[in-house]
Structure 1
Amino acid sequence: MQLIEIGNEHLSVTVSPLGSEMQSIVTSDGQSWLWDGDAAFWAGRSPVLFPMVGKAPDDHISIDGQRFPMGQHGFARRSQFELAEQGADFCRFELKSSLSSRTVYPFDFTLSLEHRLVGRAVQVTAEVHNSGHSLMPFGIGFHPAFVWPLPGCEGQSHSVVLDNGHAPALVRLSGGLVKPEKLASPFVDGRLVLDHELFASDAMLFPDGAGAGLRYGTADKAIHFTWENLPNLALWSKPGAPFICLEPWHGTAAEMGGSDDLAERPYGEVLGPGSSGLYRFKAEMVG
């Protein structure tokens, strides 16, 4: 399918209508910063997670007492979006509820995704609109994967440094579901030195306390990554894979032994009829 390309003097970005998923970030020097989706490791690049984040027990959710099948991270990432607006340095895609979507998620909604270039940064904004007549529960998150090591930084140590300098408690997953116990933070004074062994037990989830920004990279080259209205942070890779995902979420996977009710998932959102919610991340290439 035809990709949409946007650009400015610093960056060139491509976006696919499938999932409104970013496919590449290339700086003016020709360096690629976004993971290329090599299926030998993971075919994703920068999916949006909606109407839930993570897994549900037995891959089913409940809404008002009814059960519906729902695969990991929801259906938006595998849905065809429609191009709503495009300019030289931005594009906006929309996904609207349909007969098909209502069979698994019985709500009327519009999910808009805008990719916009701001200097050396790409800013991705999701707007969720409840166009129905009832309360609409959901989760939403972003899942961008950046190359590890960064371009030209082969053999160098990479770190994630939280802007707030905190050491948020770690939560792990089992079978894709959230374990209830909180573990000691791997951050020291806001810094985590990356090692592939950190991901031997799947993603690292920080439900609280990670703040709203971080710096990923080396001493000389980095991505300054910030987010809005997304209280949870996850870091994920596959051991040995040349990428790392920086994932801000509003809502997590269901808890082990917990309810499959979508409205009861940790940190989930609920919009009233006619209401909208905005969620955003910004990735600035530094160095």
Structure 2
Amino acid sequence: MITTIKNSDLTAVIKHFGAELCSLKDNSNTEYIWGGNPEFWGKHSPILFPIVGTLKNNSYQYNGKDYQLSRHGFSREMNFELIDKQENSATFSLTSTDETLQRYPFDFELFLIYTLENTSLKIEYKVINKGKSKMPFSIGAHPAFDLPNNFENYSLEFENSAPLTFHLLEEGLISNTTEQIQLDKKQLQLNYKLFENDALVFKKLPSKSITILENSKPILKVSYEDFPDLGIWTPPNAPFICIEPWFGYSDTVDTFGNLFKKEGIQVLDSNETFKSRFSIEIL
């Protein structure tokens, strides 16, 4: 099933499976979200919960028991319930089940709220700890933006010209090695060589927005003031770029499996609510 929301400037389509944004078009019918061709990557904009990235050995320990949790968690592979629908907004909910408790022994309710305001789509996450104990989690976005023309015609503009420090990945885990990217007048020209070693992972990135430009013309802006961490990714020769605001990231190579001690983890007290949001603005 899908749900469509509209305003005078934009139309957005969200799948109930994963509560995943699969289309964002303007009045000229220009599509801004990757179409999900499985030749490159069969997703559009999945939610990452209750972890972001990869756990070491895809496992962790809690109360003396080992649990298995695959990359990016399970929420992107579950059906959400549409609980509110207005012309320009839609709210989806996912609640813990017997199945999720086998992999993640915490009672939760997760909400995704999509709202169109003028030429922006605002995406809000809300996480409620429904259990009696503290609940560790990470959450993140993974939107893929369609780049239909030559990949190297596109660039990313950051908020300032400071060099970007990113962490290299080692078999999907955060290594102890960092590298720097120099920007040219706040801009990073895209090329596939940047992603030869998988995603660029930024911890505590100072820039809180990124603008996609085509031949120096701004197209789209992603703003993520609430989010401390960020990933940027595309697979080889794919005609899209993912700009991924995160709370947390993959395990480090020297992690020891305690989810509460995981770098970047969030912890909610019983009945506590976490909220964050980011926006996609068409320019």
**Shorter-chain TM-score category?**
over 0.9
- CA-to-aligned-CA distance 1:253-278 (integer Å, 9 cap, x gap): 00012122222221110011111111
- CA-to-aligned-CA distance 1:119-144 (integer Å, 9 cap, x gap): 11111111011111111001110000
Counterpart for residue 3 of structure 1 = 2
Query: Residues 104 and 9 (structure 1 numbering): CA distance in 2 closer, same or farther, change over 3 Å?
Result: same
C-alpha distance in 2 between matches for 1:113 and 1:155: 31
Give the Å deviation of 1:244: 0.5
Aligned with 1:266 (options 263, 266, 269): 263
Counterpart for residue 235 of structure 1 = 232
- CA-to-aligned-CA distance 1:175-214 (integer Å, 9 cap, x gap): 1111112222343453211111111110001112342111
Aligned with 1:190 (options 186, 210, 224): 186
C-alpha distance in 2 between matches for 1:200 and 1:139: 26
1:242-281 mapped onto 2 (5 Å cutoff): 242-281=239-278
**Quick check: 1:167–1:209 contact (8 Å CA) kept in 2?**
no
Matched, 1:24 2:23: yes
- CA-to-aligned-CA distance 1:207-229 (integer Å, 9 cap, x gap): 12342111112222321110132
Aligned with 2:204 (options 197, 201, 208): 208
Query: Residues 78 and 103 (structure 1 numbering): CA distance in 2 closer, same or farther, change over 3 Å?
Result: same
**Secondary structure of the structure 1 residue equivalent to 2:164:** coil
Matched, 1:167 2:163: yes
Counterpart for residue 123 of structure 1 = 122
5+ unaligned residues in a row in structure 2: which ranges?
A: none
Give the structure with the larger strand fraction: 2
**Quick check: 1:161–1:192 contact (8 Å CA) kept in 2?**
yes
- The one-letter code matched in structure 2 to 1:82 is E
Normalising by structure 1, what TM-score?
Answer: 0.94
Give the Å deviation of 1:5: 0.4
List 4+ stretches of structure 1 deviating above 3 A: 153-156, 186-190
1:219-230 mapped onto 2 (5 Å cutoff): 219-230=216-227
- The one-letter code matched in structure 2 to 1:279 is S
C-alpha distance in 1 between matches for 2:151 and 2:53: 32
5+ unaligned residues in a row in structure 1: which ranges?
A: none
**Quick check: 2:110–2:127 contact (8 Å CA) kept in 1?**
yes
Range with greater deviation from structure 2 (19-28 or 201-210): 201-210
> What percent of counterpart residues are identical?
29
Normalising by structure 2, what TM-score?
Answer: 0.95
Counterpart for residue 55 of structure 2 = 56
Give the Å deviation of 1:118: 0.9
**Quick check: 2:151–2:191 contact (8 Å CA) kept in 1?**
no
**Quick check: 1:109–1:132 contact (8 Å CA) kept in 2?**
yes
- The one-letter code matched in structure 2 to 1:276 is T
C-alpha distance in 1 between matches for 2:268 and 2:240: 34
**Secondary structure of the structure 2 residue equivalent to 1:71:** coil
**Quick check: 1:168–1:208 contact (8 Å CA) kept in 2?**
no
- CA-to-aligned-CA distance 1:109-164 (integer Å, 9 cap, x gap): 10000111011111111101111111100111000000124xxx557621111124
Matched, 1:35 2:24: no
C-alpha distance in 1 between matches for 2:141 and 2:174: 18
> How many aligned positions are there?
282
